[in-house]
Amino acid sequence: MAFSKDNLFDLINAYRNFRNSVMIVYDVNKSRYGLNPLKCFRLSEKAVSALSLNDTRTFLRNLVQEKIREHELDI
């Protein structure tokens, strides 16, 4: 799968600078088999509120699995 924890942190950092940012990931392994190698990701409003991304004091402290499960977030 093309999405990783590092990609999530990059997406969160991009969100901090550009509120409507998207991340486009090119998966080399899928392209070798003729599958669609491009994936596009964006943080939903639900994810932003669940992870408290608008509060600079709690930027990465709230990024825990329980918080993600509690708000039923997924990729």
Residue 65: the pLDDT is 67
- Return the pLDDT at 55: 66
pLDDT score, position 39: 86
Query: Could you tell me the CA-to-CA distances from 17 to 10, 22, 54 in Å, in that order?
Result: 11, 12, 11
Beta carbons within 8 Å of 54's beta carbon, 6+ residues apart: 48
Q: Dump pLDDT digits (tens) for 5-62.
A: 788 778 888 888 888 889 898 888 888 898 999 988 888 888 887 777 766 565 555 4
Domain boundaries, the chain: 5-70
Would you state the pLDDT for residue 11? 84
